[in-house]
Structure 1
Amino acid sequence: MQMQTVHHTKRRKAKATRLTLTLLFIFPLFFATLPSPEVVATAATAGQAAPAFADPNFEKLWNRTDKLVARGSVARSYLWGAQPSSVGLEEDYAEAPGGTRLVQYFDKSRMEITNPSGDQTSVYYVSNGLIAKEMITGQLQLGDATFEAHSPAEIGVAGDPDDTSGPTYSTLAALLQSTTEDTGNPITKAIDRAGNKRDGTADFDKYHITQANFVPETGHNIAKPFWDYLNQTGPILVVSNSGGNQERGGEREGGGEIGGRAEEPTTGLRTTETTTQGRIFDPVFFATGLPITEAWWARVKVAGEVKDVLVQAFERRILTYTPSNSAAYQVEMGNVGQHYYQWRYLPSTINTTPTPTPTQQPSPTPTEPPTTAKPEPTKPVPAPTSTPLRLPKTTP
C-alpha cells in the first residue's frame, strides 16, 4: 500500500514541571509524563485524556492496525496498545541530529524517529526500539554502536505482578545461544523463573505446537503460532484526504470525529476513513525484529489463574501463545513498552523479591518468555536505587 508524505508538525517534548518522582499504576494501563529533571508517571482516571501523539507519523502508524482494535471494529490483540502511555520524549541517540531523537512509549513498544529529515513515506521512518533485547542483555542502547551496561531486567515477561513462576527478562539472558533448524518438530521444552529447563512433553505435547520457520541470521526457529501471526492478513485502516490520496495508517494532522468523513480543524481538509485487507506486519519482522530465543513453555499466573503459556523473545517484542484464550487472542504482544519504561526510568518501583535458585545452572540453550494477553503492570528489575538509568532530554 502506498504511503503519502506527511507534513511535519512541531514536536511535543517533555517539559520541566516538578522535582518529585511518582508512579501510580492503574489496570489495565498507565499514562506517563516525563518532566525534567525528574520522571513523573501519572495514572489516567475515568474521563482523563491519554497523552497526545507526539508526532503525526506516530499516530499514522498506530492508526493502521490499532485504531480499529480500540474501536472494537476487529477482534485481535493490540500491536502497540490502546493509546500512547507517555508524552513525547527526547532520548539520547548518537546518530540522531543533535544527539537526541523523539520517542514515545506504548504498552507494547516504543516508537522512534531517528532522522526527522528522512523519507516520511518509508516504512522505516518510524522505528520501534530493540527494547526487549536491551532488557534481556542489560545493554541500554544509546546509538547504532553505543551501549551502556546495566543489569538485565528482573521483570516478569508475562503474568500478574505477584507471579513467581514465569520467567523474567533476566531469566532469558543465559538462553540466547543460537541453534539449528528444527522445522516441523514439536515444541515441548519448558522453563521456569529460576532458569530450570525440563522436558515438558507430558504437559505440553497435547497442544501439538511445532516449529515453523528457521531464521539463519540469528540461528533461531519460530513457533508456528507466532509465524502464522506474523504472516496474517486482516483489516487495516486507510485514510483518504479531500484530494483523493490514500495514506497508509490513517494519517490525520489534526482532530476530527472518528469514522466516516471528518474535518481537519486547522486546514479544513476532509478525510474519509476506510478499512481494507492487508498484511498486519509489513515487512514481516518490522514490529518484532528477529527471534533471539527459541519458543519455550512456561506456567504463568494470569488474572489469578496459573496457565500454560508459550513464549518467544524477539529483538523488539515478546510474543506469547495462550491456548486457553479465545482464538483471536491466543497470540499477543507482551507489554514490553511498559516494562522498558519501568526498567529505564522507574527502577525503584521494581519488585525486588528474590527468585528461587535454579536446581541446576541453565544451559546456554535459547528460551522464550511468556507474556500475557491483557495489558499488565510491569515486574521487577535488579535496581535497588530510585535513580533512573538515564533521563530523557528536556526543553526549557
Structure 2
Amino acid sequence: MKKLIIPGVFGLGFVVIALGVGLILWKPASATLSFTDPAFEKTWNGLDKAVFEQAAAGRGYTWGPVVVGAESISGESYNGTVRKVAYFEKARMEINNPAGNKNDLFYVTTGLLVKELVTGLRQDGDETFTQLPPSTVQVAGDPNDGNANPNAPTYASFRNVVTIFGNQNGKPSSNSSIITASIDKAGNISSINPPETHSSSGYDDVTQHNIADVFVDYGKNTGKVWNGNSYLNSSIFYGNPTYVLGRPISEPFWISTQVAGSDRMVLVQLFERRVLTYTPSNPVGFKVEMGNVGQHYYKWRYTLNNSPIITPPATTVPTTTAAATPQPTRAVPAGKALNVNFGGDKNTFSNKMLGVNFVNWEHSWGKPYPSEVPGLVQALKAANVGLIRYAGGNWSNSVGWDRNQVRDPNIGWPDGKTGPYYFQYNPEEIDSVATLAKAVGADVMIEVNIFTSNPAMWADMVKYTNVEHNYGFKYWELGNELDAAKNGPTPDEYANDVSAYLDAMLAVDPSIQVIASGVASPYEATRQNYSDTITSLSEYLTKPFAVTSPKGAKIQAVSYHWYQACNSNDPADLTRYTWSNIADNSWRNTYSRKQADIFPPRITKELTKGTIPQGVTEYNFDACNFDNPMNGNFLNALWTADVLGRMNYNGVNFATRWEGYATQSYSIIYPDKVNGTTIINVSPAYYAYLMYANYFGDKIVESSSFDNANISIWASRDTSDPSKLKLMVTNLSGSDITAPINLAGFNASSGSVYQMKSANPTEITKASLDATATINDVSVDAMNVAGSLASIKPVPLAVSGSAFNYVFPAYTTTAIILTK
C-alpha cells in the first residue's frame, strides 16, 4: 500500500475555506492518501497531482483524499467475486477486470454511486441488487448530521426525477431554456427566480436529460494534468467527461442549502458517477465543484447499512503477444485455404440462434409494451428472430408474477420494505409479449425467479399463458446467474428447487421445456474466486442436470452466459481469438472468441452427452459497461457474425443476444425520435442478424479456416434447396485477405455475393452505435426493413468447380451463395 503525505492542517488533511456549498477543498494542504493498487495512484495523479502540488492549478479536486474510515476497504463483492476498490472523498475507483490493459483509460473506472444513493439499490453485480433505504445525506452543503442543515435536499429527494433504467423520467431537449426549476427535501418541484441566469446547453440522448451550461463548460475545461512524467496542458477529463461524470440522470435544479450555517442557493445536477454543484458566490475556478459522493456513499453503505468489509484476492493477468502491424494485403501461407465439406453436417442452424433478450424495464413506468412499439414487429421479423427471452437478466431474481394488478418497478410486495418481489410480470405486459411473438413468429422464453422459491406462483403463470390464453410459451428458464448472486441458493439448494418447479409447472402444461440454469459463467472456477486450479463445469449446471423430480421429470435444456470482456476500451479485446499459453479448460478462455470453440463441446462431452440441447441465453462483448459502443457498433457486428456461426458449429442449439430492444448500447434495435415522433432505429450489429437471416442455410456443415484469429468461415446448406451452398466469411483484420476456398462434395456453376461493411469500421466512439452499415451498399430503413432488403441486389460471382479464390476486404462479412 503506497501512501502520499500532503502537509497541512485540519482533521481531513486540507486547508479549507468556507465557500459556496461547503468546505471547499481548493487550497492544497495535508492529507494522507493510501493507494492499494498502482493503477489507483496513476489515476489519482493524472488529475489531482497538479491540484495537490500547485495552488495555481485553479481548480478543485476530482478525487480528493481517502475517505476517513475507508482506508482499510480494498475490495467489494461484485458478480460473485471480489473487485478492487478505493474510496476517495469525491468518488470510488474500481478495477473490474484485473486482466485488462493497464494502459487503458477504462482499466480504472468510477463507480455509479449516485444511482445507488438515490434509489437505495446497492448494486452487487451487473444486474444484481440489494434494496436498502435511499441515502438521506444532503447532496450539497453542510453535513446534515444531528440537526444541521435539516431542510436541504438529500439523495432520496431525487428518487422520482432521476433516470435509473433506460430514459425513465427523461425530458425533451430544452436547449437555451433558462433554468428555474427548484427541488426541495420532499422532492417537490417548483419554479423560482434564480440568483443567476443560466440555461441548458447540452443534452444526453440516452438518458434524455438537459445539462446546465456551467456543467457543459466545466466538462470542456483544460488545465495541468500529469502524464506520468511531466505536466501537460490538456483536458481535465481526458476529453471524455462521461468517464469521470457518467451520464446525467437528472435535470439541473436549484436547491436551498446551508453553508457554514448560512442559507445559499446552489445549482445541482446528478450524474451517474458524480454530483456537480455551481455556487455563484465562489471564486473563479471553484464555482463548479464535485460533490463528496465517495464520502456520502461510504457513510451510506458501511456506517448506516453495515455492509461487510472484504479483501480482494491476488490476481494473475494473462499475457499475449503484441499484434503485428496491419498490412494492406495479408499473404496466405502456401497450402493454406478456407475449406468446406458440403456433406458434413454439424448442427441445425434454426432461427432460435437468432434470439434476443427483452428487458421489462423498457416497458415499465408507462412506456409502451413490446407489441406497442412502432416498427418493432417488422424489424424483428426481417431479422428472422426465432426466440424472445423475457425479461431483465438478474432483475428476474427479484421478479414476481402477479395477475391482479400492475406495479411499477422498485415497489416491493407483499412487504414494501422486505420484498421479496421488487419487479413484476403483469397480465397486460405478458399479453403484449404474446402478441409480439405471434406477429414475429418467435417462441418465448420466460425467465423464472427461483432465487425466491415459489413454484406455485410460476405454475400459475404457466396456467395463465398456456392454458387460459393458449399463448404457447414453450421455454421457461429457472434462475439467472445464481453463481454470481449474493445470498442466493447454493447449487444443492438450487437443484432441490428445480425438482419442485419441474413438477409444479409441468403438471399445468406437460409440453413446456424447463431450462437450467443461466449461469454467469459455465466455469466453476469463476464462482471459486477465479481459481486457476479449478477446471470443472459450474455446479449450477451439473447439479440440476442430475435431478430427477419425484414425478420423474428432468430439465429439457442447459443454458449459460458469455461476455468476452469487462470495462474494455480496447478493440483488440473484441477481435481477440485466443490468449497465448492458456489451457483449453481454463476459465480465462472466456475472454476470447475461442470460448465458442471450446465450451459447447465440453458441455456435450462432460455433461449432456448430447441428450438435451444447450443454449447461450446472454452473450455480448462487455459485461460491465452497458454504454460501451463496442456492444453494438460495426466491430461488434463483425464479432457477432463470427460468434453466431462459431457457437452453432460447436454445439450451441439456441442463443439470445443481450439485448434485442432497449436503450443500452447492447441493443440491436432501440427507440428513437424524428420530429417528435417515436420510431425505432437499428445498430450496426443488427446487420449481422440480417446476414444470417437472409443469406445462410438451416444446416451448418464442416468448414475450417487457416487463420481463426483473422478470418473465419461458416458454411451451410438449405434442406429446402439442396442446390445451394451458403458461406459466411468474416475478415476481422485490418488487411484485405485473398483466400483460396476449397469445396468438398460441391461443384459450383455460379455464385452471388452480399457484403456487410462500414465506411468507418474501427470507430469506437459513441457515434459508432449510430454509424451507417450497409449490405451491398444499401443501408436499411429501420421502419421498413423488408423494403430495404428487397432493394439489395446480389453481386454476381463467376465461379466454376470446387475451388476458387476470393478477396475478402478488411473488416467485412461476406455471404457467398453458390449454386450447383
TM-score by length of 1: 0.67
Is 2:59 aligned against 1:76? yes
Q: CA deviation at 1:284?
A: 1.9
- State the partner residue of 1:195: 187
Give a deviation string over 1:148-204, Cα, whole Å, max 9, x none: 111110111111121122210000111121111011110011111122321102xx0
Give the Cα–Cα distance (whole angstroms) in 1 for the partners of residues 30 and 62 of structure 2.
Answer: 23
Q: Which amino acid letter does the alignment assign opposite residue 34 of structure 2?
A: A
Equivalent of residue 48 in structure 2, options 66, 77, 90: 66
Is 2:309 aligned against 1:391? yes
Q: Which amino acid letter does the alignment assign opposite residue 69 of structure 1?
A: V
Give the Cα–Cα distance (whole angstroms) in 1 for the partners of residues 60 and 120 of structure 2.
Answer: 28
- State the partner residue of 1:90: 75
Which ranges of structure 1 fall in alignment gaps of 5 or more residues? 1-10, 13-25, 31-46, 241-273, 348-386
Give a deviation string over 1:63-105, Cα, whole Å, max 9, x none: 111111112241101100145653351100116xxx0001010
Bigger helix fraction: 2
Q: CA deviation at 1:51?
A: 4.5
- State the partner residue of 2:265: 308
Note the 1:215-234 alignment, pairs <5 A.
215-234=204-223
- State the partner residue of 2:227: 238
- State the partner residue of 1:356: none
**RMSD (Å), alpha carbons:** 2.3
- State the partner residue of 1:50: 32
Give the Cα–Cα distance (whole angstroms) in 1 for the partners of residues 150 and 105 of structure 2.
Answer: 39
Give the Cα–Cα distance (whole angstroms) in 2 for the partners of residues 307 and 70 of structure 1.
Answer: 28
Q: Which amino acid letter does the alignment assign opposite residue 81 of structure 1?
A: G
Give the Cα–Cα distance (whole angstroms) in 1 for the partners of residues 11 and 199 of structure 2.
Answer: 34
- State the partner residue of 1:212: 201
Number of matched pairs: 279
Give the Cα–Cα distance (whole angstroms) in 2 for the partners of residues 290 and 213 of structure 1.
Answer: 12
Equivalent of residue 280 in structure 1, options 220, 229, 236: 236
Note the 1:123-162 alignment, pairs <5 A.
123-161=105-143, 162=148
- State the partner residue of 1:172: 158
Give the Cα–Cα distance (whole angstroms) in 2 for the partners of residues 217 and 346 of structure 1.
Answer: 34
Is 2:300 aligned against 1:343? yes
The question of whether the paired residues in 2 share the 8 Å contact of 1:53 and 1:84 is answered with no
Shift of the 49–226 alpha-carbon distance from structure 1 to 2, 3 Å rule, reads: closer
The question of whether the paired residues in 1 share the 8 Å contact of 2:50 and 2:57 is answered with yes
Q: SS state of the match for residue 306, structure 1?
A: strand
Give a deviation string over 1:343-370, Cα, whole Å, max 9, x none: 00001xxxxxxxxxxxxxxxxxxxxxxx
Give the Cα–Cα distance (whole angstroms) in 2 for the partners of residues 49 and 66 of structure 1.
Answer: 13
Equivalent of residue 174 in structure 2, options 182, 196, 221: 182
Q: CA deviation at 1:394?
A: 6.9
Q: SS state of the match for residue 346, structure 1?
A: helix
Q: How many percent identity over aligned positions?
A: 39
Computing the radius of gyration from Cα coordinates, the structure with the larger value is: 2
Give the Cα–Cα distance (whole angstroms) in 1 for the partners of residues 201 and 44 of structure 2.
Answer: 28
Give a deviation string over 1:252-287, Cα, whole Å, max 9, x none: xxxxxxxxxxxxxxxxxxxxxx21111111212111
Q: CA deviation at 1:232?
A: 1.0
Q: CA deviation at 1:239?
A: 2.8
Shift of the 29–173 alpha-carbon distance from structure 1 to 2, 3 Å rule, reads: farther
Q: Which amino acid letter does the alignment assign opposite residue 150 of structure 2?
A: T
Bigger strand fraction: 2
Shift of the 210–111 alpha-carbon distance from structure 1 to 2, 3 Å rule, reads: same
Give the Cα–Cα distance (whole angstroms) in 1 for the partners of residues 269 and 228 of structure 2.
Answer: 34
Give the Cα–Cα distance (whole angstroms) in 2 for the partners of residues 64 and 216 of structure 1.
Answer: 29
- State the partner residue of 1:268: none
Q: Which amino acid letter does the alignment assign opposite residue 64 of structure 2?
A: G
Is 2:287 aligned against 1:330? yes
Shift of the 27–302 alpha-carbon distance from structure 1 to 2, 3 Å rule, reads: farther
Shift of the 84–346 alpha-carbon distance from structure 1 to 2, 3 Å rule, reads: closer
Note the 1:99-118 alignment, pairs <5 A.
99-118=81-100
Q: CA deviation at 1:392?
A: 2.9
Is 2:288 aligned against 1:299? no
Q: Which amino acid letter does the alignment assign opposite residue 198 of structure 1?
A: S
Give the Cα–Cα distance (whole angstroms) in 2 for the partners of residues 122 and 393 of structure 1.
Answer: 24
Shift of the 58–73 alpha-carbon distance from structure 1 to 2, 3 Å rule, reads: farther
Q: SS state of the match for residue 343, structure 1?
A: helix
Give the Cα–Cα distance (whole angstroms) in 2 for the partners of residues 130 and 173 of structure 1.
Answer: 15
Give the Cα–Cα distance (whole angstroms) in 1 for the partners of residues 141 and 263 of structure 2.
Answer: 9
Shift of the 145–65 alpha-carbon distance from structure 1 to 2, 3 Å rule, reads: same
Which ranges of structure 2 fall in alignment gaps of 5 or more residues? 3-9, 15-28, 163-168, 314-820
The question of whether the paired residues in 1 share the 8 Å contact of 2:13 and 2:32 is answered with no
Give the Cα–Cα distance (whole angstroms) in 1 for the partners of residues 66 and 76 of structure 2.
Answer: 20
The question of whether the paired residues in 2 share the 8 Å contact of 1:52 and 1:84 is answered with no
The question of whether the paired residues in 1 share the 8 Å contact of 2:275 and 2:291 is answered with yes
